[in-house]
């Protein structure tokens, strides 16, 4: 009788634990099936796009170009003493090399005083210094150089300074006929092949009305325009009218809500290479389509225009401004470092920018890498009316396939990292003291933030711009392995000035996250034991390289994903995967060490708290995990005891 009593008690205790097990199995952010896995074996292409083509030359080359030596600025009269104005010498060197087919312009070590813009507007020109000991010093702002009174400029009816989010002292600059400026000036796009049949995201072919003037191996662009809000609806993953209502709370809020992107010509512009041309005007592309392509959106394919410079670079140097007080928001005086505007296949490599209003800007460009950069100050620029060190650290505007990697942002900027519009842009493997990842609306489609240390992490997300430009992010925005110094879960972005759940639709969060899950949010918990790569972008690039080694003709099977199907080494490098807060480089060596672009270092995620640093009971998910573990253990023990006795 006593034995039966004990068995009954054990059975009742098991039933009592059952509700707790159910509770533990359904936490607020339950782990869903992986969308990538360790090396792409779980790739869910309904949620995750292919960013392996983002960056210089679609990440098809193993390194950045080093064109033959063409000029030394010293031979044109430049003097690196920090006192002699070398502006004309630099401009003469750029002009000579630009007019003779391009090449590398060497800037030997020294401090060069510059008082004019340095503009590369022709292809194949690279400015190359000798590391941190090559300094370009700009003692004046752009407003001083141009003789512009910013206060009077804004007082005359303009909303902001002409230097607020544009212009720069060192430029790679052309003209994109599809940009807002190009349309305003009426520039022709050139020979066009119009798309005559729909193609879906992930496919590799387009059917045109004509392929005249096109050839395999040629770099081309695909352009699409919004018609009545339909493309905007597609990019955002929600009906245009519903989005307008969400942003305003009104049934019809025109012309205020999302109106700036409705009807916009050439809203989407991205580039790739033609793999082959087949019978019936079928063009097969080197990469799969990142979006649907439709005749209803005036889709067309055309060669990259001659007005957009190609294969240009700025590398291995520092840009410095005097230490001044930071200007009020939108009253910037124009201490602006680098501008890449309307360029294709360009790069900024191993560059530091000191005391800038805006460090590096990329506008209306495709396939650009900004790699190994540092944005910092030599003292405090912030003050009561501008409590930040500057306006923008690194900003991307209306650009596609831009990679910003290996970055270090020291201090706090209003927009440490900023993106407006564009598609398939990546920010990865970087850090900041307390950076804000700003998404500035205008349907930034398929953006990726991966392997970023947020420092203090008190202001990880922000958004600016008018409601007339839509929600902060469009579809497939992905936040992967973001961490902070406290090793605490990061609150997911949710509310904006338009209210709760107005951040975006179809947004991915992979890592250690907390907060409310809005409709369309995919949340995957990733830990050190889950086998995830530290940097999703680097994992995708390396996987593509392995696939290309097996399929050299470029026809990579769309469904091949498992590492067992591939030839070559494993994707993850050996090591314990530790990734502490990166120590700041020595002041004399501000440029970050850059891994070779063909060999991204991949280690496991480490952003989830370890038992020694954050006890499981510190979070509700950890507490529920403890309950689930205890319950499972007791249940197994009781089952074994009962089974042994009964048998």
pLDDT at 189: 63
Q: How many helices (H) and strands (E) does the chain have?
A: 9, 31
Are residues 271 and 344 in contact, defined by beta-carbon separation less than 8 angstroms?
yes
**Tokens representing residue 139 in the block:** 């003692």
Statement: 180-225+272-303 belongs to CATH 1.50.10: no
Of 495, 416, 412, 411, nearest in space to 449 by CA: 416
Of 81, 131, 168, nearest in space to 585 by CA: 131
Beta-strand relationship, 366-376 and 344-354: parallel
Give 81's contacts (C-beta < 8 A, 6+ positions apart): 110, 111
β-partners of residue 119 are 171
608 secondary structure, DSSP code = S
Model confidence pLDDT, tens digit, residues 431-445? 999 999 999 999 999
pLDDT at 252: 55
Beta strands in 364-501 (DSSP E): 366-376, 392-397, 400-409, 415-420, 426-432, 437-439, 448-453, 461-462, 477-483, 490-491
pLDDT at 499: 81
Q: Please provide residue 305's backbone torsions phi and psi, each rounded to the nearest 5 degrees.
A: -65, 150
**Tokens representing residue 619 in the block:** 């979070």
CA distance 175 to 188: 11
pLDDT at 555: 55
CA distance 414 to 391: 5
Task: Kindly state the greatest CA–CA separation across the chain.
Answer: 106
Token pair 């947020």 is found at 454
Are residues 622 and 546 in contact, defined by beta-carbon separation less than 8 angstroms?
no
Burial group, residue 578, by CB count within 10 angstroms (0-12, 13-18, 19+): exposed
Token pair 């392929």 is found at 211
Of 426, 618, 424, 414, nearest in space to 512 by CA: 618
Of 168, 106, 148, 162, nearest in space to 131 by CA: 106
pLDDT at 149: 95
pLDDT at 376: 98
Indicate the helix (H) or strand (E) that contains 154. Answer: helix 150-155
Determine the 3-state secondary structure of 77 from DSSP.
Answer: coil
Are residues 205 and 316 in contact, defined by beta-carbon separation less than 8 angstroms?
no
Q: Please provide residue 416's backbone torsions phi and psi, each rounded to the nearest 5 degrees.
A: -60, -50
CA distance 51 to 544: 10
Beta-strand relationship, 81-85 and 110-113: parallel
Of 149, 173, 170, nearest in space to 161 by CA: 149
pLDDT at 361: 98
Of 314, 319, 437, nearest in space to 374 by CA: 319
Are residues 235 and 504 in contact, defined by beta-carbon separation less than 8 angstroms?
no
Domain residue spans in the chain?
A: 2-28+617-646, 180-225+272-303
Token pair 């009906």 is found at 239
Of 517, 498, 503, nearest in space to 246 by CA: 498
Consecutive 10-residue runs of the chain (647 residues): their mean pLDDT? 42 35 33 81 94 95 92 98 98 98 98 98 98 97 97 86 95 87 62 92 96 93 92 88 67 58 89 95 96 96 93 98 95 97 97 98 97 98 93 97 98 97 97 97 96 96 84 96 94 87 93 91 81 93 88 52 27 26 31 34 33 31 44 50 45
- The pTM score is 0.82
Are residues 179 and 342 in contact, defined by beta-carbon separation less than 8 angstroms?
yes
Beta-strand relationship, 219-224 and 300-303: antiparallel
CA distance 324 to 144: 14
Model confidence pLDDT, tens digit, residues 271-316? 999 999 999 999 999 999 999 999 999 999 999 999 999 999 999 9
- CB atoms closer than 10 angstroms to residue 297: 21
Model confidence pLDDT, tens digit, residues 492-518? 998 888 788 889 989 999 999 999 889
446: Cα separation from own chain's centroid: 9
What value, to the nearest 5°, has the Cα angle with vertex 154 and ends 153 and 158?
Answer: 100
238 secondary structure, DSSP code = S
Indicate the helix (H) or strand (E) that contains 62. Answer: none
**Tokens representing residue 50 in the block:** 């292919």
């Amino acid at each position: 009788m006593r034995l039966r009593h004990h068995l009954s008690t054990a059975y009742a205790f098991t039933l009592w634990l059952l509700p707790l097990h159910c509770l533990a199995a359904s936490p607020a952010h339950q782990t869903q099936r992986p969308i990538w896995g360790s090396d792409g074996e779980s790739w869910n292409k309904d949620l995750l796009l292919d960013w392996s083509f983002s960056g210089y030359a679609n990440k098809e080359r193993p390194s950045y170009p080093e064109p033959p030596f063409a000029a030394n600025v010293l031979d044109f009269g430049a003097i690196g003493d920090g006192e002699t104005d070398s502006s004309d010498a630099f401009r003469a060197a750029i002009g000579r090399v630009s007019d003779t087919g391009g090449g590398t312009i060497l800037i030997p070590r020294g401090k060069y005083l510059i008082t004019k813009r340095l503009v590369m507007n022709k292809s194949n020109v690279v400015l190359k210094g000798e590391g941190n000991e090559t300094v370009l010093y700009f003692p004046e702002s752009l407003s001083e150089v141009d003789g512009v009174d910013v206060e009077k400029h804004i007082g005359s009816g303009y909303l902001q300074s002409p230097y607020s989010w544009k212009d720069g002292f060192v430029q790679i600059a052309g003209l994109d006929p599809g940009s807002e400026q190009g349309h305003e000036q009426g520039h022709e796009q050139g020979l066009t092949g119009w798309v005559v049949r729909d193609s879906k995201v992930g496919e590799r072919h387009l059917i045109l009305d004509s392929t005249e003037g096109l050839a395999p191996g040629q770099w081309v662009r695909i352009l699409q325009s919004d018609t009545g809000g339909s493309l905007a609806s597609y990019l955002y993953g929600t009906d245009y009218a519903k989005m307008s209502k969400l942003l305003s709370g009104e049934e019809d809020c025109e012309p205020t809500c999302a109106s700036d992107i409705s009807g916009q010509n050439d809203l989407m512009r991205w580039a790739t290479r033609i793999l082959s041309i087949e019978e019936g005007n079928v063009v097969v592309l080197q990469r799969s389509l990142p979006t649907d392509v439709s005749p209803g959106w005036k889709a067309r394919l055309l060669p990259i225009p001659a007005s957009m410079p190609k294969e240009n670079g700025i590398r291995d140097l520092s840009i410095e401004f005097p230490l001044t007080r930071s200007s009020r928001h939108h009253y910037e005086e124009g201490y602006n470092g680098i501008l890449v505007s309307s360029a294709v296949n360009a790069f900024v490599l191993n560059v530091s920018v000191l005391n800038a209003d805006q460090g590096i800007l990329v506008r209306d460009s495709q396939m650009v890498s900004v790699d190994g950069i540092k944005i910092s100050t030599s003292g405090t620029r912030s003050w009561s009316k501008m409590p930040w060190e500057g306006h923008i650290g690194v900003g991307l505007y209306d650009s596609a396939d831009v990679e910003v990697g290996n970055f270090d942002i020291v201090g706090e900027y209003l927009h440490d990292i900023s993106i407006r519009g564009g598609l398939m842009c990546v920010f990865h493997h970087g850090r900041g003291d307390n950076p804000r990842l700003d998404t500035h609306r205008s349907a930034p489609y398929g953006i990726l933030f991966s392997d970023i240390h947020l420092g203090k992490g008190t202001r990880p997300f922000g958004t600016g711009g008018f409601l007339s430009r839509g929600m902060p992010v469009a579809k497939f925005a992905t936040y992967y392995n973001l961490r902070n110094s406290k090793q605490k879960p990061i609150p997911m972005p949710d509310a904006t000035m338009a209210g709760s759940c107005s951040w975006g639709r179809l947004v991915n969060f992979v890592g250690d996250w907390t907060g409310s899950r809005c409709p369309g949010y995919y949340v995957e918990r990733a830990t050190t034991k889950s086998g995830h790569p530290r940097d999703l972008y680097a994992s995708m690039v390396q996987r593509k390289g392995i696939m290309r080694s097996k399929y050299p003709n470029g026809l990579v099977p769309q469904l091949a994903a498992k590492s067992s199907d591939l030839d070559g080494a494993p994707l993850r490098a050996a090591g314990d995967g530790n990734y502490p807060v990166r120590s700041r480089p020595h002041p004399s060596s501000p440029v970050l060490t850059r891994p070779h672009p063909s060999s991204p270092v991949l280690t496991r995620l480490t952003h989830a708290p370890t038992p020694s640093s954050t006890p499981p009971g510190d979070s509700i998910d950890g507490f529920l995990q403890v309950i689930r573990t205890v319950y499972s253990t007791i249940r197994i023990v009781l089952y074994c005891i009962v089974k042994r006795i009964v048998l």
